[in-house]
Structure 1
Amino acid sequence: VLGHKRFTVLDPGPDDATHIERILEFTGGAIDQVVVTHTHQDHSPATVALKARTGCRVYGQLAPEGPAQDQTFSPDVEPVNGDLIVTEAGTLKALYTPGHASNHLCYLLLEQELLFSGDHIMQGSTVVINPPDGDMKAYLESLYDLLAESVRYIAPAHGFLMARPESVIDYLITHRLAREHKVVRVLKSLAPASLKDLTAKAYDDVPAAIHGVAARSALAHLLKLEADGRAAREGDIWRTTPDI
């Protein structure tokens, strides 16, 4: 919640009556605008109730297709990269950061150099990249783009305030590329291979119980390699390309 007398609510959360009433009580209902990073069910559904109760202006991008998306979200303004939103706490700069979700935006509070990272960067865990809406190539490119911004602190949607943003972003890029290198090594050794077999080898350092989730990440890496011309598939079978 940003502001002193007139408020901007960032990612109001799920459609939970108790939660919504707490937001209204805290702000006294003086909500001028709601700003949304993306439309997963834990981020945007409360917007409808806040709009109905306060008449606030809503910023965010429309939900893509998919059951995990909040199809009730109806923005008044769809910010694009670089757009500015004036709040009582300062100016928010919209930064288009697809990867975790195709409609994901981060918001940089310019005066304080404080980045509201939504689910693009989390504290204490890595971000789920789940195709088809999740895109590993776009995610990495978006991380590189953030390095060009003047940021002192990161305020993630999940976790605590994070200092040393360059180090945080560098770590995330390195972590993802290290996993990509492992996927490449496994692909070379097993190809042609199924996603299940590739996951079992490329994620042998994580418990087998979560290999179902790991398979989504593995697929995201393979799709990035395919986009880079480094992997190819025929049906559910993956193989290397000559230049890999």
Structure 2
Amino acid sequence: MLEHGKPWRLSPTVRRLVAPNPGPMTGPGTNTYLLGDKDVIVVDPGPAIDSHIDAILAAGDGRIRYIICTHTHPDHSPAWKAVAEATGATVIGALPDGDDHQDETFNPDLTLEHEYRLKTDELSLLALHTPGHVSNHYCFLLEEERMLFAGDHIMNGSTVVIIPPGGDMQAYITALEMLLDYSLDSIAPGHGELIHDSRAEIEGLVAHRLGREAKVVAGLNTLGLSDLDTLVQTVYDDVDPALHPWAKLSMEAHLIKLEREGRASCSDKHWQAKSPT
């Protein structure tokens, strides 16, 4: 159940709050997770909306010890400051990086730069660097329950927009494939409901992205030299044209990946297929 302002228990260790920021890019709203009951960890405090901050503090009931952000987009991290000031919690995450759509206020006590494990008396949480959506993105694995807090790396019901230059399609697919090395029972996304068939979800996302990449190559072969506005109509002919401005961003990320691989080239904002050498 996704209901604003009320914590919903997902497991013996995990509760979820949904921020009141629904929209085309956020679905029902940003999911904020509270882990543990003695020393509470807040994962993705979300936007700085007073009612949501109040709900986090009420659910934490004076026991919030850590605040963790998967990344620093404005729907995921800005409430960190108010929650930290109210609780004295230690703030953990990677510094803003990679695009112009960042929470530049984010100033963690512990800066993530590589794999990191946070342990309390109740749980162990493993930070995994998962760039792609943006370069400073981390997922967090609750090891006792094999639940992955996926931020915007994996969403329920929609695909993640990859926005160059901070977004990187090659890095995104590689990070998805890396997650297949871990035994996951469920995925707690940044938006939407809990996902239970984790391996099938991840494999499906990789297949979807590679399938879309194949459509990009086919579109270039059919159209020849094309700009993004022309190409998106062919590559995303199965998507509502109202969403093409967002689709065009991910398509450009595919094209940049293809260019790195020697399979496409760009000249004066026009793209064409290229045979790899």
- Please tell me the TM-score bracket, short chain as reference: over 0.9
TM-superposed deviation, 1:237: 0.9
| 1:93-104 correspondence to structure 2 within 5 Å | 93-104=126-137
Match of 2:20 in 1: none
Q: Which amino acid aligns with 2:169?
A: M
| Aligned pair partner of 1:166 in 190, 193, 199 | 199
TM-score normalized by the length of structure 1: 0.96
Q: What is the Cα deviation at residue 65 of structure 1?
A: 5.3
Distance 1:65 1:182 in 2: 27
**1:203 deviation in Å?**
1.1
8 A Cα contact 2:130 2:153, kept in partner? yes
**1:117-138 deviations in Å (ceiling 9; x for gaps):** 1110111111111111111111
Q: Would you tell me which structure has more helix in proportion to its own residues? A: 1
TM-score (norm 2): 0.85
Per the alignment, residue 66 of structure 2 pairs with: 33
Partner of 1:234: 267
Q: 1:100 to 1:65 in 2, by over 3 A?
A: closer
Q: Is the 8 A contact 1:191 1:240 kept in 2?
A: yes
Residue matched to 1:181 = 214
Q: Distance in 2 between matches of 1:2 and 1:224?
A: 37
Moved over 4 A (4+): none
**Contact 2:99–2:134 (Cα < 8 Å) also in 1:** no
Task: Tell me the residue number matched to 2:149.
Answer: 116
Paired residues of 2:264 and 2:273 also in contact (CA < 8 A): yes
C-alpha separation in 1, matches of 2:171 and 2:243: 24
Q: Partners of 2:189 and 2:207 in 1: how far apart?
A: 19
Aligned counterparts of 1:88 and 1:190: Cα–Cα separation in 2:
60
- 1:85 counterpart = 2:100: no
Give 1:17's aligned residue: 50
Q: Compare 82-91 and 181-190 and name the one that shifted more.
A: 82-91
Deviation at 1:225, TM superposition (A): 0.6
2:22 corresponds to:
none
1:201 aligns with 2:237: no
Deviations 1:207-235 (Å, cap 9, x if unpaired)? 22222111111111101111111111112
Counterpart amino acid of 2:90?
R
Partner of 1:145: 178
Distance, in Å, in 2 between the alignment partners of 1:170 and 1:65 is 26
State the AA in 2 paired with 1:206: V
CA shift at 1:82, angstroms? 2.6
Return the offset for 1:160: 1.1
Does structure 2 retain, via aligned residues, the 8 Å contact 1:80–1:94?
A: no
Q: Give 5+ residue unaligned stretches, structure 2.
A: 1-33
Q: Distance in 1 between matches of 2:79 and 2:118?
A: 20
Residue among 82, 85, 89 paired with 1:49: 82
Q: Distance in 1 between matches of 2:264 and 2:191?
A: 33
Taking every aligned residue pair, what percent have the same amino acid on both sides?
46
